[in-house]
Structure formats: C-alpha cells, structure tokens
Amino acid sequence: MEPQKHMKPVGYWLNRADAALTRYVDGMLAGDGLTRLGWQVLNVIEDDPAATDAAVLTVLAANGETAALAATVESLVTGGWAARPAPGRLALTDEGRARFARVAVRAGTFRKRVTAGVPDEEYRIAVTVLERIARNAEAAADAAGYADVRR
C-alpha cells in the first residue's frame, strides 16, 4: 500500500509522537527525579517480581541504548526507588513502591489525555499496525545484515 501523496509518512508521526511523549513525561516526572526512561525501567521492575538487569535491558532495548539503560537502573538504585536483593536482581524498595503508586496516578491521567477521542478498538488497531511495521523493518534490517548502530 502506497501512502497518499499529501500524507506524511509513518516515520514522521512516530518521531513526532515519541518526541512529544518524552517531552511531556520528562516534564511531568522531573519533580520526582525521574525521566521517561526511568519510569519505563520502574514499570519493568514493578511488573516482574524476579526482575533482573538483563531483563530490563532486553525488554527496553528499543527504548534506549544499553549504557543509558544501565545508568538509569543505577540512578534508580541510588535514588532509593529500587534495590538489589541479590546480584543482578532488582526490586522496588518499600519507599519506591509508594512513590511509584503516586506517580502512576499522574501517568494514568496523562495516558487518558493523549488517547482522548481514540476509541479502544482504534487504539488496538494502531498499536497492532505499528508493531507489524516495526517487525517488518527489523526483519528487513536483519536480512540486509545491518547492525544496530545505537548500541
């Protein structure tokens, strides 16, 4: 399917949406000493009781470079959000869990705001289509032998 001539390509809208999401979320979280990437790392830790550094790097590989992710993990540990119950393991601290819950309320409000006017079915379709485009692009890069230069 060829895009209409007057329509901006999907990459334009992906970049614009990502930049706007990052700008808002970074601003919303700044008072808590967090960034969007930090919030994403906290979500991985909160979702997985057996979270590890390796899992964070794997789950969020598309969200940030390895060095940035590792530095973010360390800043969350240093900032008291997370702890290391065992080598390579991560868990929210009691204080981190309480802080996470407070921030989650604001994050939920933001999600509602940015999806206002988008019915659930359209949202699911958009995410499904973007996932398919991403997988197709990754497969094409793999088939061509292109390395991920971000790492």
Contact between 54 and 93 (Cβ < 8 Å): no
pLDDT tens figures, 83-121: 999 999 999 999 999 999 999 999 999 999 999 999 999
Cβ neighbour number for residue 111 with a 10 Å cutoff: 10
pLDDT tens figures, 132-148: 999 999 999 999 999 87
Average pLDDT over residues 14-43: 96
- Which pLDDT score, from 0 to 100, does residue 148 have? 78
Average pLDDT over residues 65-70: 95
Q: Does the pLDDT at position 4 exceed 90? A: no
Q: Does the pLDDT at position 151 exceed 60? A: no
The percentage of the chain sitting over the pLDDT mark of 70, rounded to a whole number, equals: 95
Cα separation of the two ends of the chain: 32
- What three-state secondary structure class fits 91? strand
- Short-list 103, 86, 111, CA closest to 43: 103
Q: Does the pLDDT at position 2 exceed 80? A: no
- Which pLDDT score, from 0 to 100, does residue 6 have? 85
The percentage of the chain sitting over the pLDDT mark of 90, rounded to a whole number, equals: 91
Mean pLDDT estimate for the chain = 94
Domains in the chain (CATH in brackets) are 10-144 (1.10.10.10)
- HSE-CB at 22 with a 13 A cutoff on CA atoms is 9
